Chains A and B, each alone.
Chain A
Amino acid sequence: MGVKPLFVLLCSGEREKLQMAAMMASVAAVSDRPVEMFVSMNAMLAFEKGKSTDDRYYGGAFADALRDKKAPDPVELISQGKMLGEMKVYACSMALDILGWEMDNLIDEIFDAPLGLTRYLSDAENGDLITL
C-alpha cells in the first residue's frame, strides 16, 4: 500500500501555527511521506522576502516561548524539509493577487509555484489534509 501524501493548508500567520505546520511538513517529508503545502491568507505575510525574524512572527504566549528558547525557525524547517525530503510549497494565487505580489515578493527557494485552490483540493483528495 502506498504512502498517503500529507497536504498542509496554512492560513494563519501566528507563530504557533506556522511552527506546527513547518514541523509536521518537514518531519513528514524526511520520513518518506510526500508533502504539499499551500500557503494563503495571513500565513503568506510571514514569507515576505526581506522581513526580519522579529517582524516575520507574532503570536501568543507560546510564540514568545518559542522565540526565547530559540526554537527552530519555521522557514528554515520548511527549507530543510524540501532539501531532505519530498516537499512542494505552493503560494495561493488569490492571496498573491490580493496583496498585489508576484512570486518574487516571497522568500527565495521556498515556493515552487503559484497555485489555485481548485487544483490543490483536487490533489488533496489523494491524501490527508490538515488546515492551520
Chain B
Amino acid sequence: MADRQTIDARGAFCPGPLMEMIAALKHVGVGDEIEVLSSDKGSVNDIPEWVAKVGHEMVGTTAHEGFWSVVVRKAK
C-alpha cells in the first residue's frame, strides 16, 4: 500500500506550498503520495497544473474550512 506524507503549508504563500511539495516528492518512492494542506487558493490551482506538466498524478483536492487538501501521487 502506498505511503502518504502530509505537509502542512497553511499560512504559506505561493509558490511556497508548491515548492514544499516538490521537495517532498523528491524523497518518496514512485506510487507514494504527498498531501499538501494549503490556505493559498493560487497554490491549490497551481499544484495540479505542475503535476500535469511534469507527469505525476493528481489523487484529489478536498475543500475544508479555511484550507484545502491537495493529494499528489508520485508517478515516476
Q: Which residues of B contact A72 (CB under 8 A)?
A: 12-13, 15-16, 19
* B-side contacts of A11, CB under 8 Å: none
Partner of B13, one of A27, A31, A71: A71
Q: How far is the CA of A77 from the CA of B23 in the complex (A)?
A: 12
Q: How far is the CA of A4 from the CA of B17 in the complex (A)?
A: 25
We find that the number of chain B residues with CB closer than 8 angstroms to chain A is 14
Closest beta carbon of chain A to B11's beta carbon, Å: 8
| Contact assessment for A80 and B19 in the assembled complex, using a CB-CB cutoff below 8 Å | yes
Interface: B63 (CB within 8 A): no
CB-based A-B contact count at 8 angstroms: 34
- The verdict on B70 contacting chain A, using a C-beta distance below 8 Å, is no
- What is the CA–CA distance of A32 and B18 in the complex, to the nearest angstrom? 14
Size bracket, chain A contacts:
10 to 19
Near B by CB (< 8 A), chain A positions 68-102 give: 69-72, 77, 80, 83-84
Main secondary structure of the interface of A (DSSP, over half): helix
With known contacts A72-B13, A84-B26, A77–B53 Cβ distance under 8 A:
no
Q: Is A63 an interface residue (CB 8 A)?
A: no
Q: How far is the CA of A69 from the CA of B39 in the complex (A)?
A: 13
A30-B22, A32-B54, A84-B23 known; A77 vs B13 contact (CB < 8 Å): no
Report whether B50 and A30 are in contact in the complex, using a CB–CB cutoff of 8 Å: yes
Q: How distant is A28 from chain B, measured CB to nearest CB, in Å?
A: 10
A32 neighbours in B (Cβ, 8 Å)? 53-54
- Given contact pairs A30-B50, A32-B54, A23 touches B22 in the complex (Cβ within 8 A): no
Query: Which 4 residue pairs spanning A and B have beta carbons closest together?
Result: A72-B16, A71-B13, A80-B19, A30-B22
Chain A interface (Cβ within 8 Å of chain B)? Answer: 23, 26-27, 30-32, 69-72, 77, 80, 83-84
